[in-house]
Structure 1
Amino acid sequence: MLQDPDLILQCRQVTKQVTTGEKTLEILQPINLQVRPSETVAIIGASGSGKTTLLSLLAGLDTPSQGEIYLKQQPLHKFDEEQRSAVRAKHVGFIFQSFLLINSLTALENVMLPAELAGDSNAQERALSMLAKVGLKDRAEHFPSQLSGGEQQRVAIARAFISSPDILFADEPTGNLDSKTGDTVSELLFELNQQQGTTLVLVTHDNDLAAQCQRQLVMHAGELTEAVKPVAEVV
């Protein structure tokens, strides 16, 4: 496959099958996708349609059964877990529906962690700056259990952006939040995304959130297509 240097993410004929007993489940049909730097892309669809599976493949958290995936021209489909981990550490940020903060660490320590792992000597200073950007500098010493769901997701957003990732993957980033808190979090997410010029690929059930992205893709029964009508009508 010829790689386009103008693309940050590129996949071709990507499939995923899972075998249980004598049955093989086709989770993803052959998928082709191209994403340009700084583009914002939403993947929408019903539960069980394959959205999160695809996101895991694109982010290098899993490998496809067939097909090719390139992230920053790196062939993720050829890499072992150690190699994919190195690509993620250098280029990728994550935001998850369940926040995935480390309960034994304070908000500040959770945000600092990726920068510390990258050897950043200014990790604490940068983490405090990120917490200030998400409006939580005064909660820096609180543990996740002392924070509301919205506050935990804002900490997770700060953690995702501290390393200035080239591409950010978000899996239902407002899924565990009430409508008002979700609106606040999504506004913050897109604001920081624009400030840093990060590429954003998100999975969501929230049509309003998806509509804020430049492009909407629809996942149905493992097949991915471009939305050709208003996103509110798709699912």
Structure 2
Amino acid sequence: MKYKTSLIVLMLILAYAAQGQPVFQVGNLNPPVPSTVEFLHTGQEDYAYLIFPPAQGSCPLGGFELLNVNMYLELTADQVPVTFTASGGLAEAVWDQALGQFVPGPFICEGLDQVFNFTAPGLYVITVPMDDACGCLAFDEHYFLIIRYHDTFEANLPIDGLPEPGIVYNDKGTGWVDMFDYIKTASGKVIIWGDTVCCAYSVGNEPGTWSEIKSLYR
């Protein structure tokens, strides 16, 4: 399953590049450090990673489209074989004045569920295609990349060794929690990133909420 998904992702990225559209990545592009966080991931939980596209690329047409959401997971010998479903998405980034940082807000879009099956231990990139779910979004805004795991299973979380508060959040069903506050991930951030392509942004072509649309005319 993972090989088929990787081939499709590569074909999509090459197709966009052939059309002359800049393809770039946003999110945590750091490599995983040698040690991993053991057994923190238990499944049936969501992860959110803060992005600001202009900090990592440029799109002269003012918009970007999210193609895939990716995340590192490590599976050990006692955690395989395993089959699970996951989906990706994008959420609003809401500024919390009390915390002095962005927190995940309402979902903007979410892709279809994808099934993953692993039989051998190893370090894996979980790539979830968005299948045009998000449309063309404003480039110069903060967002949260979302990846959701819909089944119960254990895995280890590779981190980047570069801790920072207010960047990556986890929701185990009771609300978003800054992973910087977790003792096991205080030494680094979980590695999540998105593949994107530039697009011509205009009001009305992104699947925003009604409150977002109204705010554009205030």
TM-score range, shorter chain: under 0.3
Q: TM-score, normalised by structure 2?
A: 0.23
Q: Quick check: which one's helix share is greater?
A: 1
Q: Quick check: which one's strand share is greater?
A: 2
